[in-house]
Structure 1
Amino acid sequence: MHGTHETGTPLRWADVDTVTDGLLVGGGLDRDEVRALAQADELAAAGVTHVLDARAEAGDADVWGAFAGVTYRWDGIEDAGQVVGHDWFDAVTAFARAALAVPGARLLTHCHLGVNRGPSAGFAVLLDQGWDPVDALGAIRGARPVAAVAYAEDALDWHLARRGAGWFERRRTRARVEEWRRDHPLDVPGVVRSGFAAREAGERGWSLGTGLAVGA
């Protein structure tokens, strides 16, 4: 991954990428305790003040509990292609809104590989901040080329319902997101295979299914 903090210096250990000054998205800490602590140290040094963990299968409260300057929230869901309900996006964005109200705060939304759940949470955060949906998708994919953001459509439905959008706005916005999907295909199975292989090897960088090296 091409993770960076505000000065543009790449992150060496953490599988995380910067979307905006206040928002980072990516994968979780390594299962190896030594690597996990190195990654957490790096993220804290890069100014991360809040962590939203979207994994149902794991959590890092024990690691982040050692960092007094970081607020950790676990709000895990499965990554099984299910419909994600509005309640989850309400919870995620409420946490993000409170976090980012503090000047200088930096929020990380992550899952295991940083392909679907973490980026989808980040997408909802951008929508809550007033971003255009297509611009938000472009910002996340631009920062993290392996982000499929699989639950973006669920986040969009949540966002439009909350806005009380009429049928025309709903149809037009969904059509724009569908068009973005068509114009920005991603070999998700290849990405996931490469991501798991890299995790097993203890590597930070991994490759897209198309062969494009990321974070080499």
Structure 2
Amino acid sequence: MTLSVTNLSCRRGEAVVLRGVRLSVARGAALVLRGPNGAGKTTLLRTLAGLTPPVSGDVAPERCAYAGHADGLKAQLTVGEALRFWAAIFGGADVGPAVRAFDLEPLLDRRAAELSAGQKRRAGLARLVLTGRPVWLLDEPTVSLDTDNVTRFAAAIRAHLAGGGSAIIATHVDLGLTDATTLDVGQFAAGTATMQDDPFAEAVE
């Protein structure tokens, strides 16, 4: 199924930051979001994930997995416990593929509180493999990852795409996704409009 967006306006807090966003991502395809800090990449991803209501516009329904800046780890749980918890949440998936994709075997008995920033990131990203959801929404996913683990992550994305999934990724890092298309979110900038200025404000208040 294709994820499609038409005439979408997005807000950050009370400010409308994006207007008229349109995009389409087919099965097996990746879209890379570009733009300077503050351009609205995170805002767009959070709106697509259903975490922030849109001001206006339509998002064709699709099951998405969102990976933002937080790793989603409980400090007292081991990596293995966290993976099994997520697997149960998403229907009891085998954790093996996630462990192998992010080289987590040596960390399974380590508590999250004992992990480095990069190790936490790998454990957090492993959730994506367990969700079984066709669309991955990724916000600067390679933060804290070293070169080898960026390569592992890129391989996980390629495997997801090869299986018929799709991905929308906000990143400044070249992940080697040669067939990915690029979207500059700056073209949809809404200027300094506020919710009070927006004719659709009542729809989300």
State the TM bucket, normalised to the shorter chain.
0.3 to 0.5
Larger Cα-atom Rg: 2
After TM superposition, the score normalised by the length of structure 2 is 0.33
Report the structure, 1 or 2, having the larger strand content.
2
TM-score (norm 1): 0.32
Q: Relative contact order (alpha carbons < 8 A, sep ≥ 6): 1 or 2 greater?
A: 2
**Counting helix residues as a fraction of each chain, which structure ranks higher?**
1
